[in-house]
């Protein structure tokens, strides 16, 4: 048992320490080495030393914590994404200890800590502020960087404005400051080090719109870095489409993952039945009973396994590769007039969704036709704007077999569409047997209707989208699939109506598949020969 900075420490043979602290303590005691210079070097070069002897967290003396300190030290410094189980020291190691280590080595730099909202980021800054004010070892080892009386001497020393340490530059930016991605993002500042911690939370997982806002703000915050700077992202999953999964999926210009991804689940094999890597077995068993166990301990955003409509199964195809002999349908999912929509929907408006969908006029051996989204539009619009866009899409599409317009209540959108097309010399008749069809919800559960229509063809690789479709609308379409059934469903509801139309149509098998089926049917039957074949 040794003691450094008032912290008792017992050496463990199962921990991969960077240095032998017993020898260090012995050499300091016998004055073989200078105490202050040695401790200063350890703080600057040994991340676990900071966690154990500066943060003074007794339970940090554990193989998992020591190993993770070494991994963070030895691994990449920029574009890192660390998703670890909760209660497993990710914030203590990276957001607090490594930030302290960094600013002591680079006091002229600026560090920004970013969370979902600013109060969360301030909690991390508070921990750092308290350590700089009260930890004797820091004051003794870094008198050139840490003020004697931080609150009185520092130009800035508050959670709102940030902390300024002793530095050579007259730079006005705080040495460390805390910010919220969704509120009060700094402008006109640039940070050499950015740490994103808790940008995904359990509360935020209930709002798809807020998750999308955080993703956008995260992208925007890349503009407040520096050329020679670096950034780290830290957190725990809460939803299969949360900001951390978005960041994990980002690619560089060559198509390679942009972020070095470290996933550390709470068990040795990443499963609920595995052995816990840090918490006790009793604590692990208690956590298993919680509803958030998969997300917070196994780092598995469990809704992913239950995703009803996986956008990864939506297949891209170049326009020149889209088959020519398609039956084309123009389908419209209406949202009503913009003002009425705004009153009904509030800040997140429903969108008009319409598209040209091509269908191969034959089926495969499982009775499915390939479907091609050739054109797509999804956006809030006034009714007059929507009619204008629908007409444009119709005229651009070439030969359209049928036009389907959603009919809800007393809506008359189909009449306006018909009249607008007639003015352009195109005739769409919504009477019985005409080439216009009213698409009716018919009292069906909307979620079940969409899932029932799309899941089977989607999962079997039958739904394609032309890469000529506007990329923003395709991304919106995928987002609806990814977040189904808890978000807007305008585009996927429009596509689901296609299968209402196809029910009344008979498609035969493709010639090559029909021939293959015929050969298979007669393969095992004996061939009858006649005298005419002799």
Interval 85-120: pLDDT, tens? 999 999 999 999 999 999 999 999 999 999 999 999
Burial of 480 (0-12, 13-18, 19+ CB in 10 A): buried
Tell me how far apart the alpha carbons of residues 25 and 35 are, in angstroms, rounded to a whole number. Answer: 9
Which of 160, 114, 494 has its CA nearest to residue 329?
494
Which pLDDT score, from 0 to 100, does residue 510 have?
Answer: 59
Tell me how far apart the alpha carbons of residues 6 and 255 are, in angstroms, rounded to a whole number. Answer: 50
Q: What are phi and psi of 288, to 5 degrees?
A: -60, -30
In order of 275, 280, 302, 339, the CA distances from 285 in angstroms are: 10, 9, 18, 53
Instruction: Confirm if 328 and 397 have CB atoms less than 8 A apart.
Output: yes
Which pLDDT score, from 0 to 100, does residue 528 have?
Answer: 41
Fold equal for 76-264 and 311-513: no
Tell me how far apart the alpha carbons of residues 172 and 35 are, in angstroms, rounded to a whole number. Answer: 34
Q: What is the CATH number of domain 76-264?
A: 3.40.50
Name the 3-class secondary structure at 158: strand
Instruction: Confirm if 185 and 179 have CB atoms less than 8 A apart.
Output: yes
CA atoms within 13 A on the CB side of 288: 15
2 vs 365, which has greater pLDDT?
Answer: 2
Mean pLDDT rounded to a whole number for the chain: 88
Tell me how far apart the alpha carbons of residues 67 and 515 are, in angstroms, rounded to a whole number. Answer: 62
Which pLDDT score, from 0 to 100, does residue 346 have?
Answer: 46
pLDDT over 90 at 209, yes or no: no
- How many Cβ atoms from other residues are within 10 Å of residue 228's Cβ? 8
And the tokens for 203?
A: 């509360």
pLDDT digits (tens, 9 = 90+) for 391-433: 999 999 999 999 999 998 888 999 999 999 999 999 999 998 8
Tell me how far apart the alpha carbons of residues 405 and 226 are, in angstroms, rounded to a whole number. Answer: 51
pLDDT over 50 at 516, yes or no: no
Q: What is the CATH number of domain 311-513?
A: 3.30.420.240
Which pLDDT score, from 0 to 100, does residue 449 have?
Answer: 95
The domain ranges of the chain are 1-75, 76-264, 311-513
DSSP character for 487?
Answer: S
DSSP character for 526?
Answer: P
Tell me how far apart the alpha carbons of residues 278 and 281 are, in angstroms, rounded to a whole number. Answer: 9
pLDDT over 90 at 295, yes or no: no
Length of the chain as a residue count: 534
């Amino acid at each position: 048992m040794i003691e450094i900075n008032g912290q008792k420490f017992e050496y463990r043979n199962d921990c991969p320490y960077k240095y032998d602290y017993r020898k260090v303590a012995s050499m300091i005691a016998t004055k073989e080495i200078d105490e202050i210079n040695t401790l200063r070097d350890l703080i600057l070069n040994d991340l676990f030393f900071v966690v154990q002897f500066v943060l003074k967290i007794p339970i940090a003396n554990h193989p998992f914590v020591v190993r993770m300190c070494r991994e963070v030290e030895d691994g990449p410094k920029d574009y890192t994404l660390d998703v670890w189980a909760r209660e497993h020291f990710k914030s203590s190691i990276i957001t607090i200890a490594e930030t302290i280590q960094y600013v002591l080595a680079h006091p002229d730099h600026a560090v920004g800590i970013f969370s979902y909202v600013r109060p969360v980021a301030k909690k991390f800054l508070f921990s750092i502020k308290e350590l700089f004010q009260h930890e004797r070892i820091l004051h003794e080892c870094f008198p050139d960087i840490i003020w004697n009386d931080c609150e009185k001497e520092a130009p800035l020393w508050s959670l709102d404005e940030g902390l300024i340490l002793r530095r050579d530059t007259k730079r006005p930016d705080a040495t460390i400051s805390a910010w919220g991605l969704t509120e009060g993002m700094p402008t006109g500042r640039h940070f050499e080090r950015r740490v994103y911690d808790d940008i995904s939370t359990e509360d935020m997982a209930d709002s798809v719109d807020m998750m999308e806002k955080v993703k956008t703000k995260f992208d925007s915050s890349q503009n407040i870095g520096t050329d020679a700077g670096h950034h780290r992202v830290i957190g725990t999953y809460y939803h299969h489409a949360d900001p951390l999964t978005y960041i994990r999926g980002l690619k560089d210009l060559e198509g390679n993952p942009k972020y070095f991804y470290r996933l550390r689940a709470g068990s040795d094999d990443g499963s609920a039945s595995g052995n816990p890597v840090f918490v006790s077995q009793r604590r692990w068993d208690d956590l298993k009973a919680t509803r958030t166990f998969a997300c917070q301990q196994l780092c598995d955003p469990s809704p992913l396994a239950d995703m009803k409509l996986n956008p990864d199964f939506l297949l891209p195809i170049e326009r020149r590769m889209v088959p020519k002999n398609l039956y084309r349908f123009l389908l419209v999912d209406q949202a009503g007039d913009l003002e009425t929509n705004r009153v009904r929907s509030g800040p997140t408006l429903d969108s008009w969704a319409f598209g040209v969908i091509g269908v191969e006029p034959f089926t495969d051996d499982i009775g499915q036709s390939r479907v091609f989204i050739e054109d797509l539009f999804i956006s809030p619009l006034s009714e007059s704007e929507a009619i204008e866009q629908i007409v444009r899409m119709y005229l651009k599409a070439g030969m359209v077999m049928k036009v389907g317009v959603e009919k809800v209540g007393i809506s008359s959108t189909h009449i306006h569409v018909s009249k607008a097309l007639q003015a352009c010399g195109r005739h769409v008749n919504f009477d019985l047997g005409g080439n216009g069809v009213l698409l009716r919800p018919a009292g069906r559960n909307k979620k079940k209707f969409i899932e029932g229509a799309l899941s089977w063809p989607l999962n079997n690789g039958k739904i394609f989208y032309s890469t000529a479709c506007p990329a923003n609308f395709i991304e919106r379409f995928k987002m609806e699939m990814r977040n189904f059934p808890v978000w807007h469903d305008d585009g996927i509801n429009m596509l689901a109506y296609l299968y209402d139309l196809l029910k009344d149509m008979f498609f035969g098998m493709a010639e090559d598949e029909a021939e293959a089926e015929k050969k298979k049917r007669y393969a095992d039957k004996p061939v009858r020969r006649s005298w005419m074949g002799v």
